[in-house]
Structures are given as C-alpha cells and as structure tokens.
Structure 1
Amino acid sequence: MRMVFRWFGTGNDTVSLAQIRQIPGVEGIVWALHHLPAGEVWPLEEIMKVKEEADAFGLHLEVVESVNVHEDIKLGRPSRDRYIENYKQTIEHLAKVGVKTICYNFMPVFDWVRTDLHKELPDGSTAMFYEKQKIDKIDPKELINKINENPNFTMPGWEPERLAHLSKLFESYRGVTEEHLLENLKYFLDEIIPVAERYGIRMALHPDDPPWSIFGLPRIVGTHDQLRRILQLVDSPYHGLTLCTGSLGANPQNDLAAMIREFADRIPFVHIRNIRRYDNGDFIETSHRVTDGSIDIPGVVRALHEVNFQGYARPDHGRQIWDEECRPGYGLYDRALGIMYLWGIWDSLQRS
C-alpha cells in the first residue's frame, strides 16, 4: 500500500507540501489542475510547474484526481470526439511527469452530493452530511448556492462556472437512461484505454457518490454488479476502479471487502473513509476509527493486505477538528490521524 495525500495546489489549499511531507509514510500528492474547465488540454508547462513544487519536497505526482470528463462525452454528443482527443493529449502530457494513475468519474452533472458541509458531531467537530429528505425536496440550484457559499474554498466538482447552466444540463439528460450512459462510457473507454496502455497510465473510475440516482439523473457506478459489468466493457488492466469506501459504503448492501477480493487486479487506487449510516438514508462522515462509523475499516485494510495491494491509497474526507480553517473534508489534522490509523492496521497485519 502506497500512501498519498490529496493537495489542491499553491494558493488553493490550506495544507502545505512541507506539512504533507511530515506525515509518516506519505510519498506523493494526489493533484489536478483544478482551474481548468473539463474538456481542455492540460498544458505541459503548467503540469511541469506542479512537478517542480512537489520535487522540492521529495513528493511524487503519480496519482491525478481528476481529469474531468466533459458532459458532452457523458451525453454522447457529436462533439465528444473533440473532447476525447483533448483527453488523450492530456494523458500524453501527464506521462511526461511520471503519472501512473488517473482517477476520474462518470457522474452526470454533480460529482458528489452533500446537504451540509459543517454538520456538528457530538464531540464538537464538524463533517459533511447527507440528508436524504432534503435531497428529495431541494432545488438543485439552492444546493449549488449552499455548497459554494464560502468563496475561499471552492469544492471540486461544484465549480460555479461548470454548473452555471444547470437548467440546460438537466434538460440535456432528459431521456438519458442508465443504458445510454453505459454505452457512452464504453465509447469513451474504447478510445482512451489504448492510449493509457501506450503511456503506462491506469485509468481508475470513481464510484457514484452517493451510489444511487439523485434528482432523476442516471447513475451506473454504485453496486457490485455494476462494477463487474463496467470492468467487462474493456478487458485491460489499464481500465480499473478507484475503490472508495465512503461512496460505496453508503449503500449497506455493498460488501467492500468482497469487492476488493474480486476486483483486486483492477484496483490501482483506494479512497478510505468512514461514514455513519442511518436507517432513514442519511449518512455523515466520521473519523476513520471503526467504532465511529458504519464501515469496517479494519476489514477493508485486511482485504487489501490479503490481495497484496501495491497500489495507491489516500485517507478520504476528514472532519474539521481543533478549529482548523480549511476546505471542508480536506484539512490536515483529521486526514493525518486517519493515515496513522490505517498504518497501524497495516503494520499489525504485516507483523502477524
């Protein structure tokens, strides 16, 4: 297991590379050019700037999260070919700085959904919260305003410029079924995977978050059977998954350890976080400790150890603790605590 840490870039993150380097066992950053709209080619000179920054602190750039997929690709519009060609060029540029894994998603319109970014937990910390009843009733535009109410910390996947034409986006997806979306994913993969193979970069599809339909939009990456079907679309080790315990774990029917054991050779990247599920469909993110949530984190790490997992792992969203001012879910303190919890489990398995 190779530990990495998500970083949003100089001037866009409260956590510094100097701090990341001090977390035991962290060898690289999970990064992206967040200011670029989906569909644009990532310029090599901008990529090289990030490499220079990371090199100065002995951190690698082997994992990118994410090269966003343009909505025209998801919708299967004629213009998708132009955006796919841009994607291929970006893969070529990323290979020049040693990138080995690209995490991406195929979620229509919204990358992820929460109703509260600062829900208070009993210990006084705050965390991101999903309230099912609110989602069932809220206007998506109202949700966008809520997510982006703090202009200092734009949330990945909720960039205001990307969602500025929300009504048109929803209209575009009218009549698009899960089968249509799956067909469009296959078209994308058929084009992209040969290029990824050529440059030695593994594509790692992130699950839907949460793993069910919201606002009537189709979603196809949320269950064991769906993951299996998606991996069968293209038979290549370069077509893989980002196994996210928080996303998939929101559905109590998902057996995360079983997924790891079945798809082991197709998982180059894992996101490990804990959530507490409630019977009414709500869930809140918690510390990584198993007793704080509903996810069997030791069981997940044990399954990774059993399959001799040698890919990348990162602690996913943390709580905001100790009065830290940071992007919700992406502070230093709780994610660093999470890393040490994960290493503790891993090290105990190694010794036994």
Structure 2
Amino acid sequence: MQMTFRWYGDGNDSITLKQIRQIPGVKGVVWALHDVPVGEVWPFERIEEVVKQANKYGLNSDVVESVNIHEDIKLGLPTRDQYIATYKETLKNLSRFGVKVVCYNFMPVFDWFRTDLFKEMEDGSTALYFDATKVHSLSPEQVVKNMKENAKDFSLPGWEPERLKDLQRLFGLYKDITEMNLLENLTYFLKEICPIAEECGIKMAIHPDDPPFPIFGLPRIVKNKEDIQRLLSAVDSPSNGLTFCSGSLGVNPSNDLIDIVNSFSDRIPFAHIRNIKHFEDGSFIESSHRVEDGSLPITSIVNALYKNGFSGYARPDHGRHIWDEVCRPGYGLYDRALGAMYLLGAWDTNVLLRDNLLAKKPLHTV
C-alpha cells in the first residue's frame, strides 16, 4: 500500500508540501488542476509545474483526482465526442509525467453532497454531516446556497462553478435520464477512453456515488457491489477500475465492504479509507478514522486489502476539523495526518504478523 495525501495546490490549499512531507509514510500527493474548466485539455506546462513542485519535496504525483467528466458526456449529448477527445489528450499529457491512476466520478450535477460542512461533535471538533431529514425538506438550490456560504472562503472540491450556475437547467436535462441511460453513457465513455488509458499505462478508477443513493431525483449507478460488477463487466479492460471508498459505500449499512474488497481487489488501484458514524434516521457524520469512533470496520478493511496483495495507492479521506484549524471542509492537515498514521499502523500490524510467522518467532512483548 502506497500512502498518499490529497493536496489542492499552491495558493489553493492551507496545507503545504513541506507539511505533507513530514507525515511519516506518506510518499505522494493526490492532485488536480482545479482551475482548468471541465472539458478543456490540461496544459502540458501546468502538469509539469505541479509534478516539479511535488518532486522537490520527494513526493510522487502518480494519482490525479479528478479529471472531471463534462456533463454532456454524462447526458449522452451529441457534443460528448468533442469532450471525450479532449479527455484523451489530457490523459496523454498526464502519462508523459508518469501518472498511474486517474480517479473520476460519474455523478450527475453534484460530485458529493453534505448538508453541513462544520457540524459540531461531542468533543468540540467539527465534521462533514449529512442530515437526511433536511435533504427531504429543502430544495437543491437552498442546500447548495447554505454549503457555499459555510465553506469559509474555500472552494468545494469537484463543485465546478460553471456547473452550478444554473441548477434548474441541469435538473431539467436529467429529468428523463434513468440509471440505465446513465450507465449506457458511462459505458460509451469508457469504451472510448480505456484503449487510450491502456496505451498510457493509466488506470481509470471510478469513485462510488457519495452518498450511494438517489438525491433530488438524480440517478446513481455506483452504489453497491452489483453496480460495481455491472460496470467492470461492461468494459473488460485492465484500465477500467474502481476507487474503493469506504466512506461513500459505507453510508449504506447493507454494503459489505470487506466482500467488495475481496471481490474486486484486482480492479482497485486506489483506495479512500475513512470512517463515518450512522444515525437511525439515515443521517451520517464523518468521524475519526478510528474504528471505535464510527460505524465502519476500518482495520478489517485494511486487513482485507493486505490479504489480497494490494499494492496500489491509498489516502486518508475526509477528516474532522480539530485543534482550531482553519481549512477546506473535510481536508485539514491534522486529522487526516492522524488518519494516515492509523491506517499505516493497521497495515504494519499485518506486515509484523507475516514476518514473525515466516520466521516462526513469537511477537515481541513488553
């Protein structure tokens, strides 16, 4: 497992590469060119700039998250081919700098969704929160307005400004789009993209829907094991993979996260590992990565990845906002650094057990 850390770039992140470099075990940054409008080719010079910045601190830039998908591709409009062509050019440019994985999603309108970005917890920290009742009582425009006002002057990752300028128009375009239509449009995209990705040595790793159920009537197609199997089977390419996200898939208690890891381990080049806490009404909050603080079997997930020979990239996902840190919602330094250490500790326990069993030695005791 290669530990990474998401970074939003100079001038766009409260966290520096120097600070990331000081987190033990973190070897690379997960990055993107957030200011390049969706549908445009990522310029070679801009990619080179980020790669050089990371390399200066001994960090790799092997994982990109995300090269966003233009809405016309998701909708299957006639204009999709021109946007697929530019996507291919971006992949070619990324491959020239050794990028190995591109995480992306196919969620309509919203890349992710929460109702509160700084919900206070019992210990005084704050975290991303999804209020199931509020989602049913408010309009999309109301919730988006609240989120943007509460973002504390930080941009919301994946929320392209141009996509959110006219929500009513977008919702109208999706009015007659079914899950099957959306899957067909994703399959069309992957059939075009995967041959290029294979040539470039890049794994396309789709991120599950967050949350993994329909909201505001929008279709969702990466919600559970059945959806994942259907998607990976639709385009049987080594470049058609999954970003395993425990926090997204784990929102639905019916999803067996260990079974999903075991079933698709050979198609998981990237993992987001985080914990959440469920509430009886369907609401949830981002907790610390520690098993006891949430509802997900985080250490068992790490164990399953280890047992399946996982050699891909992982990152601690959303963290709480602790120790009075002012940061992008869900993406502070402190709690994610704690999360990275927790995940590496779980991984190292497996390594220690393996080494002692191979040597037939008892574990060291105090």
Structure-2-length-normalised TM-score: 0.95
User: Aligned equivalents of 1:278 and 1:21: distance in 2?
Assistant: 36
1:151 CA displacement:
5.8
Counterpart contact for 1:74–1:108, Cα < 8 Å: yes
1:296 aligns with 2:297: yes
- % same residue: 59
User: Aligned equivalents of 1:346 and 1:249: distance in 2?
Assistant: 20
Partner residue of 1:65?
65
Question: 1:70-89 maps to which residues of 2 (within 5 A)?
Answer: 70-89=70-89
Counterpart contact for 1:147–1:158, Cα < 8 Å: no
The amino acid of 1:154's aligned partner reads S
1:76 CA displacement:
0.2
Partner residue of 2:356?
none
Partner residue of 2:240?
239
User: Aligned equivalents of 2:202 and 2:22: distance in 1?
Assistant: 28
The amino acid of 2:107's aligned partner reads M
1:139 CA displacement:
1.2
Gaps of 5+ in 1: none
Partner residue of 1:24?
24
Q: Deviations over 1:202-253 (max 9, x none)?
A: 0000000000000000110001101110000111111000000000000000
Partner residue of 1:225?
226
1:172 aligns with 2:146: no
Counterpart contact for 2:152–2:328, Cα < 8 Å: no
Q: Partner of 2:292: helix, strand, or coil?
A: helix
1:157 CA displacement:
2.0
Question: 1:318-333 maps to which residues of 2 (within 5 A)?
Answer: 318-333=319-334
The amino acid of 1:3's aligned partner reads M
User: Aligned equivalents of 1:6 and 1:162: distance in 2?
Assistant: 23
Partner residue of 1:129?
129
The amino acid of 2:143's aligned partner reads L
User: Aligned equivalents of 2:207 and 2:275: distance in 1?
Assistant: 16
Q: Partner of 1:148: helix, strand, or coil?
A: helix
1:252 aligns with 2:253: yes
User: Aligned equivalents of 1:144 and 1:161: distance in 2?
Assistant: 14
Aligned-CA RMSD value: 0.8
The amino acid of 2:111's aligned partner reads D
Q: Partner of 2:123: helix, strand, or coil?
A: coil
The amino acid of 2:273's aligned partner reads I
Gaps of 5+ in 2: 354-366
The amino acid of 2:6's aligned partner reads R
The amino acid of 2:162's aligned partner reads E
User: Aligned equivalents of 1:170 and 1:201: distance in 2?
Assistant: 32
Partner residue of 2:312?
311
User: Aligned equivalents of 2:184 and 2:338: distance in 1?
Assistant: 41
Question: 1:72-151 maps to which residues of 2 (within 5 A)?
Answer: 72-149=72-149, 150=151
User: Aligned equivalents of 1:211 and 1:51: distance in 2?
Assistant: 33
Counterpart contact for 2:306–2:347, Cα < 8 Å: yes
User: Aligned equivalents of 1:159 and 1:184: distance in 2?
Assistant: 20
The amino acid of 2:202's aligned partner reads I
Counterpart contact for 1:37–1:162, Cα < 8 Å: no
Larger radius of gyration: 2
1:202 aligns with 2:203: yes
1:115 CA displacement:
0.3
Counterpart contact for 1:31–1:61, Cα < 8 Å: yes
User: Aligned equivalents of 1:334 and 1:139: distance in 2?
Assistant: 32
1:191 aligns with 2:192: yes
Q: Deviations over 1:56-101 (max 9, x none)?
A: 1111110000000000000000000000000000000000111000
Structure-1-length-normalised TM-score: 0.99
Q: Deviations over 1:101-147 (max 9, x none)?
A: 00000000000110000000100000000001111111111111122
Detail structure 1 runs of 4+ shifted over 4 Å in the superposition.
none
